[in-house]
Copies of this chain bind each other. A is one copy, B any other.
Amino acid sequence: MADPNIDVVAKAAGVHRSTVSRAFSRPEAVKSETREHILRIAEGLGYTMSPLAQALRRKTSTFVPLIVPDITNPFFAELAKTMTQAADERGYQLLLCVTNGDPAKTEGYFTAMQAMYAPFGIVAPSTKVDTGVLKRFDFGHRVVVIDRVEGDSSVPTVTVDSRRGIVLALEHLRSLGHTSIGYVSGISGTHTAQDRMDAYLELSAEGSSTPLVLDSGSDPDAGARAAKHFLEMENPPTAIIAANDMVAFAVISALGQSGIRVPEDVSVMGFDGLALGARFNPALTTVRQPIADMGNIAIELAEKQNLNGSVDHVVLEPELLVRASTAGPRK
C-alpha cells in the first residue's frame, strides 16, 4: 500500500491535480462540495500531502529549528519541551538542533535550515550572539533569539528581566535577615548571564552588603570551586545566589560533601525555576523564569516578523519561587 500521490486521488475524485492541491492548501478557492468530496476520497485512500514536495515547490516549509547548545541542560530541555508543544499547535514541526557550543555546528544548522526552507528559527545561545552570523546566512530577518543581544536591535528577542530577578532574590534573602550574600556565576557567556551578574554587583553594593563573587568561571565545575572557595573563607556569606539552578545544584552538592548544610548553615538560591529543583535536596528556592511563555512568545515573534517585518523585544517578569533551600542566617 505505497501511499498514494496527488494524481491517484485526483483520478479517484474525478478532478484535476490542481484541484486536489487547492482542496488541501487553499480551501476557499474551491467549491465547498467539491472540496469535501475530495477530502473524503483522500481520507479513504489514506492520503496525506508530502511535506517534502510542498516545501520544494513553495520554497517554505513548516520545519522550525530550535538551536540549543546542550539539551542535557534542563533549562534547554524544558524550553524544548514547551516549544515543541507551541510549535505543533501552530502547525510547525520543531527540529531540535544541538550545537554543543560549537559555532561551526551552529553555522551548519543555519545552512541546513536554509536548505530546508525553514520559515524561521529560534536560537537559545550559549555565547553572546553574533548577529553578523545570522545575517550572513540571509536568516537575519527570520530568527528570534532567546537572550538579549547587543548593539543590534534588528533581531527579535525574548528574555526575562534579569535585574528584576536579582532584586527578587536579594529581597527574599534580606527579608530573611541575610546581609552577607555571595554570588556564583558559573556558566556564563550569554548576555543574560552577564546581566544577572551585573545586577548582582550593582544591587548588592546598594544594600548594606558588599558584593562577593565566589566564582565566575564558565565551566560546569564552577559550583565545586565556589564551594571550595566558600570553605576557605574565614568569614563566608550566609547566603548564596547562583546564576542558575544547575549551578545551585552543584554548589549545594559540593557544600554537602564537606558537611555544610543547606539551608541550616547557608542559604542557597537558584535562578531558572526548573521542575527538577522541586526534587532537589533540599527543594530549591529560586527565581522562576516563565519558560513556557518564552517558548510561545518566541514563535509568535517569529510569525509576526515574517508577516509584517516588525521586530519586537519582549522581556518577561520573573517570579520568586520559595522552596526549602533558604532560611534565616546561621548564628
Which residue numbers of A lie inside 8 Å of B, CB to CB?
Answer: 1, 3, 48, 50-53, 55-56, 61, 70-72, 74, 77-78, 80-81, 84-85, 93-96, 98, 100, 111-112, 114-117, 138, 223, 246, 249-250, 252-253, 255-257, 262, 275-276, 278-283, 324
Contact = CB atoms under 8 A, between A and B. Distances in A.
Given A56-B52, A96-B80, A253-B280, A71 B72 contact: no
Contacts of A56: 50, 52-53, 56
Copies of this chain, complex-wide, total 2
Contacts of A71: 71, 77, 80-81, 84, 96
A56 B53 CA distance: 7
A276 B250 CA distance: 9
A23 B50 CA distance: 28
A3 B114 contact: yes
Contact of A282 (B93, B116, B257, B279): B257
Nearest to A78: B72
Given A1-B138, A246-B279, 11 more contacts: A52-B56, A52-B61, A53-B56, A72-B275, A74-B77, A95-B95, A253-B280, A257-B324, A276-B276, A280-B280, A281-B281
Contacts of A72: 74, 77-78, 81, 275
Q: A84, A98, A257, A281: which has the most chain B beta carbons within 10 Å?
A: A281
8 contacts: A48-B115, A52-B115, A53-B56, A71-B84, A72-B275, A94-B96, A253-B278, A262-B281
